[in-house]
Amino acid sequence: MRLSYEEVEHIAELARLNLTEDEKRKFAEQLSDILDYASRLDSLDTSHIPPTASVLDIYLRLREDESQPGLSRDQVLENAPATKENQFKVPPVFGE
Amino acid sequence: MRLQQRKTNSKSRRFLVNRMPDLTQLTISEALTGLRSRDFSSQELTAAYIQRIEELDPKIHAFITLTPELAFEKAGIADQMLAAEDRELPPLLGLPIAVKDVLCLANVRCTCGSKILENFIPPYTASSVSRLLDAGVVPLGKTNTDEFAMGSSTENSAYGPTRNPWNFEHVPGGSSGGSAAAVAGGMAPAALGTDTGGSVRQPCAFCGTTGIKPTYGRVSRYGLIAYGSSLDTAGVIARNAADTALLFQHMAGFDPLDATSVNTPVPTYQLPDSPDLHGLRIGVPDEYFLQGIQPEVESFVKAAVTQLESQGAVPVPISLPYTEYALPVYYIIAPAEASANLARYDGVRFGPRLGTEEGLQEMFKQTRGQLFGSEVKRRIMLGTYALSAGYYEAFYGKAQKVRTLIKEDFIRAFEDVDVIAAPVAPTTAFKFGQHSDDPLAMYLEDIFTLPANLAGIPGLAFPVGYDKNGLPIGMQLMAPPFKEDLLFRVGHAYQLATEWHNKKPSLPTMDNQLK
């Protein structure tokens, strides 16, 4: 399992990561090594094995539909790099 | 305990303070007893730790952020409550502790060892921490960690690595390396850590401390900044099993704010007075004593099993045949979960932002590309790939199925044994830079700790010897889910009969400084 430079570029795009040329070359090699190592899982027959997403028997815990205190608007916004009129401010979304 | 009798006269009391033995050497139960009998105050105890941190931490760098003002404020409140004497006092009142910098403490910067959170000040406190604050602890500061808890050496921290108190040329382990080094260096009597793939146990092994990785769901994850959500746990690092249990008692329990918190009562952890272990069956898995493991690690861990046998326990050879697959399973599942969890760092709600002139998408990419470190980017890439169209079933789906096999390995083993004993890591603490540029070699350091996370079971790590270079060797005991009480009992019984946990690195002590 070898990842090409182009595949690395595609994954970086999906992950919204700007990588340098050097990083792309290095990751192509390192991720290929890791995936090679992971391919040893292919030797196991898991056709009748159910997957484990969580070790717990997950169930949906319900509560009464009552309002509870939460963070104030100021608290929610206080870590944002830019705000305007009590909202998060971002660069233009359209017309990129 | 060598503390002198309490004097009421203020002049003699001041004299007593100056002559006081090094308070940073006390165990937690000794410190709590001293506070209750007012041999010393919480402010004095806190001052002793702050002084030790100021002396040592410029060399060790266990802390990212110190909180002396908050500590003295809490210690002052504790002292007032201790002076009042007429009401029921919180169980850990006045005890200073350190907190790993991935657990939120309200109004104190929480960096996760990352540039992307360099200015993040959480408006709320993690439930694990707030429970301990309710029990009376005094927070000394936030400890260093590999970025987003991804690493085994603290070399991935954006704020520089922590040095191992036993040898400054060696790593302290990771990711909770700051917490383990703080405890080993006497800069905190205990520290909170997190363990997603070994991040409490491995630094304990490297630093000669004792630490608990709890059952998944036993301690709330609310306010633990997420890395791998199906694996993340918050635990305690301290100087011995008894101190670990004392703190863990007040950290564990159901929390409605965490959807994966389990509503099972927390027992009162009772520790034995004698080292007797008659009737205990200890599984010793072949697969954890591989070729390539450092010979001293193997011999000291086997000697520890023999020690437990001499206390009455019965070793039972067992097999956990899927052990070798834990590494590839973990390094697919954890990065996959990380790639989803770390999508939130986009420069919109917290952290600095870059590239705003070039539109929203460029802002996301430049902020993430420049402010995440290499290991975090590597795991995001790996996880994104494993979850991407066409590869999901081959990688993520396959890994989840093999995870089932690993979990079943333990279920089968615990039909025959009470606990499982194994090395924590294949080697003692390695040198800085030894695994840089070879991520796979670094991942191999985790082979013995990953299975417990994948299976969700608890593990207790503690020192069982030292190699020829004087570096600690750790053993872990693993138990069935929610059997932390058994781990504390066995660990404490071992420590009643042995002295490894009392060995300290040769660092300047305050006793020396006062001379």
Rounded Cα–Cα distance for residues A10 and A7 (Å): 5
Nearest partner of B203 among B160, B241, B166, B228, judged by Cα: B166
B399 and A41 in contact by Cβ < 8 A?
yes
Catalytically annotated residues of B: 100, 175, 199
Comparing alpha-carbon positions, the chain B residue that sits nearest to A10 is: B385
Can you give the pLDDT at residue A84? 96
Rounded Cα–Cα distance for residues B186 and B249 (Å): 22
A50 and B401 in contact by Cβ < 8 A?
yes
Tokens of B17: 């303070």
Contact with chain B for residue A71, Cβ under 8 A: yes
pLDDT digits (tens, 9 = 90+) for B76-107: 999 999 999 767 899 999 999 999 999 999 99
* Cα B177 from chain centre: 8
Strand partners, B96: B138
For residue A33, list chain B residues with Cβ-Cβ distance below 8 A: 439-440
pTM over 0.80: yes
Can you give the pLDDT at residue B12? 40
Contact with chain B for residue A80, Cβ under 8 A: yes
Cβ-based contacts under 8 A for chains A and B: 163
Can you give the pLDDT at residue B407? 98
CA dihedral B243, B176, B444, A51 (to 10 degrees): 80
Sheet with strand B96-100: strands edge to edge: B63-66, B138-143, B96-100, B190-194, B234-238, B210-213, B459-466, B472-478, B419-423, B281-285, B314-318
B360 and A88 in contact by Cβ < 8 A?
no
Residue B501 has pLDDT above 70, yes or no: yes
For residue A55, list chain B residues with Cβ-Cβ distance below 8 A: 216-217, 230, 407, 454-456, 481
A23 and B377 in contact by Cβ < 8 A?
yes
CA distance B234 to chain A (A): 16
pLDDT digits (tens, 9 = 90+) for B124-135: 999 999 999 999
CA distance B257 to chain A (A): 11
Q: Parse chain A into domains and list their residue ranges.
A: 5-42
Rounded Cα–Cα distance for residues B46 and B96 (Å): 6
Percentage of chain B modeled with pLDDT above 90: 90
Q: Give B218's pLDDT tier (boundaries 50, 70, 90).
A: very high
A12 and B381 in contact by Cβ < 8 A?
yes
Can you give the pLDDT at residue B1? 37
CA distance B183 to chain A (A): 31
* Cα B274 from chain centre: 27
pLDDT digits (tens, 9 = 90+) for B427-447: 999 999 999 888 988 998 899
* Cα B250 from chain centre: 16
First to last CA, chain A: 36
**C-alpha atoms less than 13 angstroms from C-alpha of B255 in its C-beta half-sphere:** 22
pLDDT digits (tens, 9 = 90+) for B242-291: 999 999 999 999 999 999 999 999 999 999 999 999 999 999 999 999 87
Strand partners, B192: B99, B236
Residue B6 has pLDDT above 90, yes or no: no
For residue B228, list chain A residues with Cβ-Cβ distance below 8 A: none
pLDDT digits (tens, 9 = 90+) for B18-65: 556 799 999 999 999 999 999 999 999 999 999 999 999 999 999 999
DSSP state of B381: H
Tokens of B304: 């520890």
pLDDT digits (tens, 9 = 90+) for B406-421: 999 999 999 999 999 9
Residue B189 near residue B234, CB atoms below 8 Å? no
B159-180: average pLDDT? 98
For residue B325, list chain A residues with Cβ-Cβ distance below 8 A: 40-41, 44
pLDDT digits (tens, 9 = 90+) for B306-352: 999 999 999 999 999 999 999 999 999 999 999 999 999 999 999 99
Q: Which domains does chain B have, with CATH numbers?
A: 10-255+267-279+429-439+457-514 (3.90.1300.10)
Can you give the pLDDT at residue B479? 98
Q: What are phi and psi of B178, to 5 degrees?
A: -65, -40
Can you give the pLDDT at residue A95? 64
A79 and B395 in contact by Cβ < 8 A?
no
CA distance B364 to chain A (A): 6
Residue B418 near residue B290, CB atoms below 8 Å? no
Look at the domain A5-42 and name its fold: Histone, subunit A (1.10.20)
Q: Give B116's pLDDT tier (boundaries 50, 70, 90).
A: very high
